Chains A and B, each alone.
Chain A
Amino acid sequence: MLFSSIISSILRRLKFRRGVKYYFTFIGFAIVLSFVLMALLASFISPYNPVKRAGAPLESPSFKFPMGTDGLGRDILSRIIHGTRIVLRITLLSMTLSFLIGVPIGLLSGYLGGKLDSVISLFMDSLYAFPGLVLAIALAVMLGPGEISMGMSLTVVYIPTYFRMVRGEALSVKENLFVEAAKAIGAKDRTVMFKYILPNIIPSLPIILSLNAADAVLTAAALSFIGLGITAPTPDWGFDLRMGYPYLTSKIWWPSTFPGLMIVFLTLGFSLFGEGLTEILNPRLVRR
């Protein structure tokens, strides 16, 4: 019901408003969608096995290898296609977890207030005070390499963003008369939180979600780049970028440029989508 009301509100708004951001949203959505499709169909569309030698090392882009081969003779295109899976899985895992943890805690903290709120806020703010990447590095070192531990460290990085957002919104929504009215008819705290306050916050969450996803793609790539991410030979953009990077000085640009471009595109896709959603879902920001 909630979901459908969000969708319908998006559709309703789209009918009336066609600014630049309207197109941004679609471009962003299209980019993200194509990456998702790429990940789902990776085994069917990738021309070679991403972890096996397919040709000579460092072959330049050609008809046979559209993006060339890397230092071990593996097809870069295939590695990029398969790398999409990893990056999307990590993003999905960390976004789901941080959403599921950050949102309820924020709701509880904002609604109940008092000492509990002060303690949780202090903790979350101190997490938030770290630059995301530094915190992610510290956590990734503790947890060791691997997809799950990367997801976990990113989860911790993004929990405070949901927390702050939801707490702030809960603080403002709970001042509404309808919350008082709900209490006046004897609604339980749980009911007030989940049926009266949360639904009024949900519309502002997709924005945070997509902007965080954009950020998570970058951070995940950065973790892999410095060797705290996925173990070789699994295809991963950040790791491949790192492996191709030394060749740049010898004018062999393709092993690092293509993974880098992919990171840029996916980040761009999430950001555009998020920015566009902000415009669509938040009527207060609309300028005429």
Chain B
Amino acid sequence: MTSMNRKPLLSLENLKVYYYTDEGVVKAVDSVSFNMDRGETVGLVGESGSGKSTLGLSILRLIPPPGKIVGGKVFFDGIDLTALSEDEMRKVRGKRIGMVFQDPMTSLNPLMKVGDHIVETIVSHEGVPREKAVERACSLLEDVGILPERFNDYPHQLSGGMRQRIMIALALCLKPDLVIADEPTSALDVIVQYQILELMRKLKQVYGMGLILITHDVSIVAEVADRIAIMYAGQLVEYSDVNSFFNSPLHPYSEALLESIPNIQLSDQKLKYIPGIPPSLINPPKGCRFHVRCPYAEHRCGEVEPQTVEFERGRFVKCFRYVE
């Protein structure tokens, strides 16, 4: 392996993304750091409002105002994305990093043929003749399981699952090194969810891109991801490979999260949940942000913020229980 390939594909260093709202500064992403390698799938898990979508958008620098990246760096393939000009960044979007959004019903232009979405993207980034782009778009449609005959359909003529397939084709059409999928299956029914996940897994083998899968569903991560990143209140509390995570979660929040997955074999068991509510991101609790809901909380948890430590090789956790 050459030294170039050993460089992580994506490396976040203390990334901070704040929203400057009228009520105060919402620290949606607060000092998040992690590395991911080429071809890896990272499942980014967190409850609603934990900042996971913001994190995804901030990699592409698409945070809507009043949001802003206020600190930290995003290294993609060795380039600091936060330092690029808007025009250079535009060339990264789509070409190097693709994105799939949550709601396939509204993420396509209702007045543009589905095939043209892809053709338009290929032509504008690569300047190839239209016929070439149409050819490529058709073979892409086939790859994602859409008949090329549907090229001239408008989005409203397709089902949600088919539209999500189009979105995936669109994210892949320039062969990016990284695809960020923001809850790609949340708006779909379970059968279609499964099909889409299967499709993404298959395409990952063909295209070999890295994938950040943003979701609130831990079971999806168990199925497709290599690594899992748990976000809580704008911070990364645990980052680990999937196997060790599901065998022995480190952070109390991860533990509670796994316990709250309903188990069909224990049918008389009451549904478990994490007591309390997620903290406000305007005035997050002092110390560890989870201490209010944490069963293991000690006095210092409410006073000082724990550092992120490497518990084992490649397993990071932000909790005092693992600090010697």
Q: Which A residues are within 8 Å of any B CB, using their own CB?
A: 2, 5, 176-178, 180-188, 191, 195-196, 199-200
A-B contacts, 17 of them at CB < 8 A, read: A2-B111, A177-B101, A180-B101, A181-B99, A181-B167, A184-B94, A184-B98, A184-B101, A185-B98, A185-B99, A185-B174, A186-B95, A186-B125, A187-B121, A188-B90, A188-B124, A191-B120
Q: Closest A-chain residue to B102, C-beta based? A: A177
B175 located at the interface, meaning its Cβ lies under 8 Å from any Cβ of chain A in the complex: no
Q: Closest A-chain residue to B182, C-beta based? A: A184
A243 smallest CB distance to B (angstroms): 50
A2 smallest CB distance to B (angstroms): 8
Chain A residues with CB below 8 A from B167, complex form:
181
B182 smallest CB distance to A (angstroms): 10
Contact B106 A177 (CB under 8 A): yes
Contact B93 A184 (CB under 8 A): yes
Q: What is the interface size of chain B, counting residues whose CB is below 8 A from a CB of the partner?
A: 29
Chain A residues with CB below 8 A from B103, complex form:
177
Sample of 12 more A-B contacts, CB < 8 Å, known A176-B106, A180-B101, A188-B124? A177-B101, A178-B107, A178-B109, A181-B99, A181-B107, A182-B109, A184-B62, A184-B98, A186-B94, A187-B121, A191-B124, A200-B109
Which of A5, A180, A195, A199 makes the CB contact (< 8 A) with B120? A195
Contact A178 B106 (CB under 8 A): yes
Chain A residues with CB below 8 A from B174, complex form:
185
> How many angstroms from the CA of A276 to the CA of B90 in the assembled complex?
43
Q: Which B residues are within 8 Å of any A CB, using their own CB?
A: 60, 62, 64, 90-95, 98-99, 101, 103, 106-112, 120-121, 124-125, 167, 170-171, 173-174
Q: Closest B-chain residue to A192, C-beta based? A: B109
Closest A-B pairs by Cβ, 8 of them: A185-B94, A186-B94, A186-B93, A184-B99, A199-B111, A177-B106, A181-B107, A177-B107
Q: Closest B-chain residue to A199, C-beta based? A: B111
Q: Closest A-chain residue to B155, C-beta based? A: A178
Chain A residues with CB below 8 A from B121, complex form:
185-187
Chain A residues with CB below 8 A from B94, complex form:
184-187
> How many angstroms from the CA of A199 to the CA of B108 in the assembled complex?
13
> How many angstroms from the CA of A199 to the CA of B111 in the assembled complex?
7
With A181-B167, A195-B109 already in contact, the answer to whether A186 and B101 are too (CB < 8 A) is: no
Contact A186 B112 (CB under 8 A): no
A123 smallest CB distance to B (angstroms): 24
> How many angstroms from the CA of A56 to the CA of B65 in the assembled complex?
74
A223 smallest CB distance to B (angstroms): 39
Contact B112 A199 (CB under 8 A): yes
> How many angstroms from the CA of A188 to the CA of B173 in the assembled complex?
17
B109 smallest CB distance to A (angstroms): 5
Contact B90 A186 (CB under 8 A): yes
Chain A residues with CB below 8 A from B108, complex form:
178, 181
Which of B106, B110, B170 makes the CB contact (< 8 A) with A185? B170
Q: Closest B-chain residue to A2, C-beta based? A: B111
Chain B residues with CB below 8 A from A186, complex form:
90-95, 121, 124-125
Contact A199 B93 (CB under 8 A): no
Chain B residues with CB below 8 A from A184, complex form:
60, 62, 93-94, 98-99, 101
B252 smallest CB distance to A (angstroms): 35
A173 smallest CB distance to B (angstroms): 10
Contact A185 B171 (CB under 8 A): yes
> How many angstroms from the CA of A253 to the CA of B130 in the assembled complex?
66
Chain B residues with CB below 8 A from A5, complex form:
111
> How many angstroms from the CA of A182 to the CA of B90 in the assembled complex?
11
Q: Closest B-chain residue to A184, C-beta based? A: B99
> How many angstroms from the CA of A188 to the CA of B125 in the assembled complex?
10
Chain A residues with CB below 8 A from B106, complex form:
176-178
Most B C-beta atoms less than 10 A away, residue of A182, A195, A196, A200: A182
